[in-house]
Amino acid sequence: MPYRRLPNTDAARIRAMRIALEKGREVPPNQMAFSPKMIVKLQRFLPQFENMIMLQRQSYASQNNKSKEYAEIIRKARLYLTHFIRVMNMAIFRGDLPAETRAFYGLATNESTVPSLNTENELISWGKRIIEGEEFRIRKGGSPITNPTIAVVKVRYQNFLESWNFQKTLAKRTLDYSEKNYELRKEADELIQQIWNEIENTHSTLPEDKRMPASENYGIVYFYRKSELNKTGSPAEAQSTIWP
């Protein structure tokens, strides 16, 4: 015998509930294969489920669409900070600035290496140190480092911070929708299962050749096992029962 399988995608869940709801509107109550209280549940639940799935998809798409732009903003912030540190080190190498200048930025005075700026947290931490250190050094009477100036570096850094916060907001929103929809999916599965159980129970007294088509008319999906396909020799018929 073919076996019934519940929908396993959001599109399939929505389709199953829509078909059941349409039947509830078309068929007179005394001829319905499932109870009126299930129609009430569908009317309440389906719009909420569809809306939450749509919001999750929109949030995820927005996050993806912004990812390339965000990557470029990170690249520019890292580039300007790196160049600023290198220009400062070159000035020390030429003798224009003392080695102690590095201490303003939280760098070791005897090292000319650029600190790691690979992660977002490193970029945030070192960007803050470099900008605050240079501003403090200038207030103490030091000559500003140029090409790039700290003002230009600061613009790139602030652009990065704004984008970082925005990406965090998008990621949290997407996660929130994902968590809510995880619970809604369980509720959808329970609702569909209850409805399908009622439909099959109503059709249980029908002749075997009419029982399954009657249930499929309400959106129930049946699958044939490979052994049944081989015996019946009718893959086309079996294929028509598989959920699209």
pLDDT at 59: 93
Tell me the angle at which helices 150-202 and 120-139 cross, rounded to the nearest 10 degrees: 150
What is the reported pLDDT for 3? 80
Phi, psi of 168, deg, nearest 5: -65, -40
Cα dihedral: 127, 132, 138, 143 (round 10) = -20
Total-model pTM: 0.73
Q: Is residue 219 part of a domain?
A: yes
Instruction: Look at the chain and report how many structural domains it folds into.
Output: 1
Q: What is the pLDDT of residue 244?
A: 37
Is there a domain that residue 73 lies in?
yes
Supply the pLDDT for residue 225: 74
Spatial distance between the Cα atoms of 207 and 51, rounded to a whole number of angstroms: 40
Residue 15 within any structural domain of the chain: yes
The answer to whether position 244 is within a domain reads no
Tens place of pLDDT for every residue, the chain, 244 residues? 678 889 999 999 999 999 999 998 899 988 999 999 999 999 999 999 999 999 999 999 998 998 999 999 999 999 999 999 999 999 999 999 999 999 999 999 999 999 999 999 999 999 999 999 999 999 999 999 999 999 999 999 999 999 999 999 999 999 999 999 999 999 999 999 999 999 999 999 999 889 999 999 999 998 877 766 655 545 444 443 333 3
Give the integer Cα–Cα distance in Å for 172 and 178: 10
Q: Is residue 50 part of a domain?
A: yes
Pairs from 19-25 (Cβ < 8 Å, separation ≥ 24): 19/218, 19/219, 20/192, 20/195, 20/218, 20/219, 21/46, 23/217, 23/218, 23/219
Contacts for 119-125: CB closer than 8 Å, 24+ residues apart: 120/74, 120/164, 123/74, 123/77, 123/78, 123/81, 123/160, 124/161, 124/164
The two structure tokens encoding residue 158:
């602030």
- The residue written with tokens 């070159």 in the block is 90
Residue 13 lies in a domain: yes
What pLDDT, on the 0 to 100 scale, is given for residue 220?
93
In a domain, 37, yes or no: yes
> Which pLDDT does position 4 carry in this prediction?
87
Annotate 208-240 with b (16+ C-beta within 10 A) or e (fewer).
eeeebebbbebbbbbebeeeeeeeeeeeeebee
Question: Is 34 part of any domain?
Answer: yes
Domain holding 13, by residue range, is 3-239
Which residue bears the tokens 């050749």?
A: 209
Residue 92 pLDDT: 97
Type and span of the H or E element at 3: strand 3-4
pLDDT value of position 237: 43
pLDDT for 223: 85
